């Protein structure tokens, strides 16, 4: 039974990785000057036996390509009608990679929605965390807008 008030729960690390594997769009947060910036990006989760990275392709010499090393990356999902949602945040360092090395481009292309994205970057996270917001018990499961 759900409580009478909304509540937050931590998402287990394995489920955070599953959500990252299933998504392809997120937001990159960094501070290019004294003010934070958040930009949408396509990505792909890259995993091997020992490490996990988030691969991004961006425009060469663009804002993301020139971003400082410390970054945060976020994906989320929300349902405004039920007032529920979840968020996964990876914090780490942004690094340039050679897309030709070890078949990186063929194996881990994030397939950006915009053309002319020739600079390859990875985020090497030092932490990946998630939270899920659960709604309170409701008396009626249908939203009033369903009847309008």
Burial of 80 (0-12, 13-18, 19+ CB in 10 A): exposed
Superfamily of domain 7-147: Electron Transport, Fmn-binding Protein; Chain A (2.30.110.10)
39 has pLDDT over 80? yes
pTM of the prediction?
Answer: 0.82
Q: Is 123 helix (H, G, I), strand (E, B) or coil?
A: strand
CA nearest neighbour of 114 among 46, 57, 34: 57
Please state, in angstroms and rounded to a whole number, the distance separating the CA atoms of residues 148 and 131: 33
pLDDT tens per residue, range 58-102: 888 889 889 989 999 999 999 988 889 999 999 999 998 876 665
Mean pLDDT within 47-59: 88
Higher pLDDT, 7 or 138: 7
Kindly state the DSSP code that residue 67 receives in the 8-state scheme. -
Q: In terms of DSSP H, where are the helices of 24-136?
A: 104-108
Kindly state the DSSP code that residue 14 receives in the 8-state scheme. H
């Amino acid at each position: 039974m759900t409580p009478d008030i909304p509540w937050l729960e931590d998402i287990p690390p394995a489920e955070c990785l599953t959500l990252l594997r299933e998504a392809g769009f997120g937001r990159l947060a960094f501070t290019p000057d004294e003010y934070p910036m958040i930009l949408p990006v396509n990505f792909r989760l890259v995993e091997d036996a020992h490490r996990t990275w988030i691969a991004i392709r961006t425009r060469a010499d663009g804002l993301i390509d020139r971003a400082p090393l410390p970054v945060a990356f976020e994906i989320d999902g929300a349902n405004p009608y039920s007032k529920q949602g979840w968020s996964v945040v990876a914090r780490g360092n942004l690094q340039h990679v050679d897309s030709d090395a070890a078949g990186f481009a063929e194996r881990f292309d994030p397939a950006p929605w915009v053309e002319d994205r020739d600079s390859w970057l990875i985020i090497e996270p030092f932490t990946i965390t998630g939270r899920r917001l659960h709604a309170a018990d409701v008396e009626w499961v249908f939203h009033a807008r369903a009847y309008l």
